[in-house]
Amino acid sequence: NLYFGIFPNPNKGSFNVEVKIGSVQDAELLITDATGKLCFKKSQPLDPARPIVHIELPSLKRGLYSVQLKTDKANAVKTLVIE
């Protein structure tokens, strides 16, 4: 199973993604706007010993975004609010 949370949320483009995962896995983090346009993409291994990924996106405009975390085994989506 794959679980993640975003904090703080809402924010101004600086936030953390906290991942709960059982083993080291390659993952892809995708952020899309309300129209489905890709705003950010990052691929990296996720490690249960380092569960927090910091993201800085000060150029994101106010609004709602979808944050998708994908691994070979699972896929999860959360909503991000930029104020």
Q: What is the pLDDT of residue 10?
A: 98
**In 3-state terms, the chain is what percent helix, strand and coil (to 5)?**
0, 65, 35
* Cross-sheet strand order for the sheet of 3-7: 3-7, 14-20, 52-56
pLDDT at 60: 96
Mean pLDDT across 71-76 = 92
Could you read off the pLDDT of 9-29 as tens digits, one per residue? 999 999 999 999 889 999 999
Backbone phi and psi for residue 74, each to the nearest 5 degrees, phi listed first: -155, 170
Indicate if the pLDDT at residue 1 is higher than 90.
Answer: no
Residue 2 has pLDDT above 90, yes or no: no
